[in-house]
Amino acid sequence: MKNKHKGFTLVELLVVMAIIALLLGLLLPALAKARATARQVKDGTQVKQIHQGLLTAASSSGGLYPLPGTINHLGTVPGRHTGAGSQNVGPGGDERQNNHANLWGAMIGKGFVNAQILVSPAEVSSRIVPCATYNFNRINPSADVYWDPIDAVGGGTGGPITGFQANLDGVCNTSYAAMPVDPSIRRGREWRNTGNSQFAVISNRAPRGGTFANTDTTFINSKTLKMHGGDKEWDGNTGYNDNHIEFGSTFYPTNVAELDRAPQSGGPANQPGVSANKFLDNLFKNDGGGWPLSSRCSDIFLTIQRTSINPATAAGTLMITNWDGGDQCSWD
């Protein structure tokens, strides 16, 4: 006798669907974890590539990392400062140029990095996008123009906005925090190829000022918490001056040297597990301002610097030893 059944029964279909749903429920979390791990690894690779670009640039400038103010001096002689006009001349050349918008714009212009690797694959902020409008045709060394376009003041203040922007309150073309490039003791010591495995120069950005208390709204509301993990803890890749990358959840990495704390400086009390008259270095806070010289040299401070602290009308150069970023820095 022929079997009259030509298909699955409703019960059989429901069983198959239940099995598929069960398998998806088991596999999706693993797939999501695998994707997150892949993003984290790719992000770490990009941090390493950006720092490698700095190292490559330093190889032709005596070991110094690029400074927009030394790349473009806005002098009457291309590539060389001549003291013309109201230029604010310091150890970084025309200090008005020294901010992260001009830094990465100059790095792109010279081919040391590209716009894509400056945005993390784990980026969650809609304000951060790769710079798609960079115009290489505007670069003209004979006219003293080395990135798109040259801004005599820096960061779009009092002049045209550069092709590359670094302002988290507006448009930002980078996900990464780096050492401020205004004149400072830390810049003179570590904005160069030192091979220092204890000093960080670039990282995934973090909540404003290195705030990490889960009761602080600055921390709780920061988009940076969602880049590599959940929304309760910051995770990020940090690049050090020997070009090694570390992925971690702390603003106080164990390989970073403790900072000197003189008893009369009014600093924090001794911390558990920290040597007497020492304190831990927060990667995203200017710990060293107003402290002993040894601290100001060693203090790591990473941020996105949207403008220079040296305006067009400034006379001379302001050496920065005690600032928390103020209006010069971007956070989210």
Query: Comparing C-alpha atoms, which of 103, 122, 318 is closest to residue 235?
Result: 122
Q: 189 near 302, Cβ under 8 Å? A: no
Q: Is residue 32 within a helix (H) or strand (E), and if so which, with residue range? A: helix 10-58
Region 90-110: what's the mean pLDDT? 87
- With a CB cutoff of 8 Å and minimum separation 6, the contacts of 128 are 119, 168, 172, 173, 174, 175
CA distances from 25 to 18, 30, 164 (A): 10, 9, 43
Q: What is the predicted pLDDT for the residue at 159? A: 55
Higher-confidence residue of 275 and 237: namely 237
- With a CB cutoff of 8 Å and minimum separation 6, the contacts of 259 are 278, 279, 280, 281, 287, 288, 291, 294, 295, 298, 299
Q: What is the predicted pLDDT for the residue at 328? A: 76
Q: What is the predicted pLDDT for the residue at 310? A: 64
pLDDT at 223 over 80: yes
Distance CA 268, CA 76 (A): 49
Least confident span in 52-61, 197-206, 281-290: 281-290
Q: What is the predicted pLDDT for the residue at 321? A: 45
**For 178-213, how does the pLDDT look when each residue is reduced to its tens digit (9 = 90+)?**
998 888 788 889 999 999 999 999 999 999 888 888
Residue 238's DSSP bridge partners are: 203, 246
Region 234-263: what's the mean pLDDT? 89
Higher-confidence residue of 242 and 318: namely 242
pLDDT at 150 over 80: no
Report DSSP letters for 123-143, one per residue. ---TTB-------GGG-BGGG
Q: Read off the amino acid at residue 146.
A: Y
Region 234-261: what's the mean pLDDT? 92
Instruction: Name the pTM for this structure.
Output: 0.84
